[in-house]
Amino acid sequence: MGDDMAQPIDFYFDFSSPYGYFASAKIDEIAHRHGRNVVWRPILLGAVFKITGQRPLPSIPLKGSYTNHDLVRTARLFGLPFKLPTKFPIAGQAPSRAYYWLADRDAALARNVVQALYRAYFAEDRDISNPEVTANVAAKLGINREELLQALNDPAVKERLRGEVDSAIERGVFGSPYVVIDGEPFWGADRLDQIERWLATGGW
C-alpha cells in the first residue's frame, strides 16, 4: 500500500441530494488542502432506501419541514444558490451515467459536469432526470450531445452505474453525501468540519 496519506478519498453522492450538492462545492478544496485527491462516485439512493427502509427527507412529517428550512439556511451558509426543485426527488440515472461515461476519459471535465448538473437542478429548477436536459447541460461544457445521449443507453454504461451502486451498498453507504477516508466513513454535509479535522490530524 505504501503511504496511506496518499490514498484518494471517496465522495459518494446522489444527484437528488441537496446536501450532496452542498458538499460537492467544498470536498475537493478540503481534500487538496491536505494533499489528497477525491474520487467522485454518484450513486442511486433509491436503491439504498429499498434496503434501509428510509424515505426521502421532505416526505417525513415534522422532519420534512425542518429539512426544507435547513436546506435554504445551509445554502446561505455555504454561499450557494438554491431553490427546492419543483420535482423532488428525481431519478439519478441519466446524470449518473453521464458522469461515469465521462469520468473514464476526463475526470476533471466529469466533475465540472456534475457541478453544472447540480446547479441546473438545485439553482435553476431544471429536471436533470430527463436525458435531454442532462445532455444539454453537458453540451455547454463542450461534450458531444448525441454521443452522450447514446452513452446513456449503452448497456455497459448502465452496468457500470449498477456496479458502483452495489459496491457502495456493500461498503455500507446509506446516504448522501458520504465520504470515506482510509476506511473511515463520514455521512452528511454537516461533517465537512470533521472530515477536515480527520485529514489534518489522521484521526482522534
For residue 153 the three cell numbers come to 443507453
Residue closer to a copy of itself by CB (options 145, 171) is 171
Order across the sheet with 9-13: list the strands: 38-42, 9-13, 178-181, 184-187
Binding-residue total with a copy of itself (CB under 8 A): 30
Q: How far apart are CA 170 and CA 45, in angstroms?
A: 13
Q: How far apart are CA 95 and CA 97, in angstroms?
A: 6
Q: Which of 6, 8, 54, 150 binds a copy of itself (CB under 8 A)?
A: 54
Q: Which of 63, 83, 140, 162 binds a copy of itself (CB under 8 A)?
A: 63
Minimum separation from the CB atom of position 175 to a copy of itself (A): 7
Cβ-contact 14, 176 below 8 angstroms:
yes
Q: Does 194 bind a copy of itself (CB under 8 A)?
A: yes
Minimum separation from the CB atom of position 20 to a copy of itself (A): 16
Minimum separation from the CB atom of position 90 to a copy of itself (A): 22
Cβ-contact 20, 11 below 8 angstroms:
no
Q: Does 87 bind a copy of itself (CB under 8 A)?
A: no
Burial profile 177-186: b = 16 or more Cβ within 10 angstroms, e = fewer = bbbbbeeeeb
Q: Which of 2, 62, 81, 142 binds a copy of itself (CB under 8 A)?
A: 62
Minimum separation from the CB atom of position 142 to a copy of itself (A): 36
What phi and psi values does residue 54 have, to the nearest 5 degrees? -80, 165
Residue closer to a copy of itself by CB (options 47, 123) is 47
Q: H-helix or E-strand containing 115?
A: helix 107-122
Q: How far apart are CA 73 and CA 88, in angstroms?
A: 18
Q: Does 153 bind a copy of itself (CB under 8 A)?
A: no
With contacts defined by CB under 8 A, name the span among 109-117, 125-133, 149-157, 182-190 that binds a copy of itself.
182-190
Q: What character string, x for contact with a copy of itself (CB under 8 A) and - otherwise, covers 19-48?
A: -----------------------------x
DSSP β-ladder status, 184-187 and 178-181: antiparallel
**Residues at the interface with a copy of itself (CB under 8 A):** 48, 51-55, 60-63, 65-66, 69-70, 73, 76-77, 169, 172-175, 185, 187-188, 190-191, 193-194, 204
